[in-house]
Amino acid sequence: MTQAPTPTADTVRRLIRTLLKDDGGGADHAPGPDVRPVADGARTGTWWVGDRHVLRLAPDREASLRQRRELRVRDLVRPHVPVSVPVSVARGEWAPGLSCTLDTRMPGGSAEDHRVSAVGETDLAGLLTGLRAVPARQAETLGVPRAAPRSLEALRGAARAAAEHLAAADEFDPVRLGQLTQPAAVQLGIQPGPAVLTHHSLTGNHLVVSQDGR
């Protein structure tokens, strides 16, 4: 297993110059960009590069495989979704066998720290609808794994806890969830149909929310 070195600001600057030179956009003696880690930690793998880019360093070979797959999947889904998707302006390896990508920086902050507005919720619905429109066979050829359908009853149980949390904040009427009873969930069950692409972990740290909640 490849042991990832600890990235420093100097190594990140040198890497950026190398990536941009290989991509035709840099020079050997160009001044180094302003870089800083996104989060505190001795082994942080994500760095801000100036005001417009973010550098992501894969920590191991498995993460490198996922990152390379992610870049291909992003290009595949971009025409189908109504929200912005980061663009990789340069990519390569930052250590033997460990990939990296210099992405465009999305305006805003983590959804864990910013509220999603009603318009933003519509954007999320459009994102999921757009993912369904992506040809599943093309996604599979890029290495996206196929997962078994989830139990509607299990999802109903998980949604109940979320509904109670939102109801306490006066953001959701729990009566609406009550309309989907346990017998109804069992009766609906898993319906036959073609495979579709979806996001397995659409959590706050995977979403960037702008100041207007989108």
Per-residue model confidence as pLDDT tens digits over 153-170: 888 888 888 888 888 888
Residue 53's pLDDT band (cuts 50, 70, 90): very high
Q: Which pLDDT score is estimated for 80? A: 97
pLDDT single digits (tens) 132-148: 999 999 999 999 999 88
CATH fold of the domain at 9-104: Phosphorylase Kinase; domain 1 (3.30.200)
Please report, for the chain, the start and end positions of each structural domain, with discontinuous segments joined by +: 9-104, 110-209
Q: Which pLDDT score is estimated for 1? A: 52
Q: Is the pLDDT of residue 206 over 90?
A: no
pTM above 0.85, yes or no: no
DSSP state letters, the chain: ---PPPP-HHHHHHHHHHHHHHTTS--TTPPPPPEEESS-STT--EEEETTTEEEEE-SSHHHHHHHHHHHHHHHHHGGG-SS----EEEEEEEETTEEEEEEEPPSSEETTTS---HHHHHHHHHHHHHHHHS-HHHHHHTTPPP-PPPPHHHHHHHHHHHHHHHHHTTS--HHHHHTS-HHHHHHH-----------S---GGG-EE-TT--
Share of the chain above pLDDT 70, in %: 92
Residue 23's pLDDT band (cuts 50, 70, 90): low
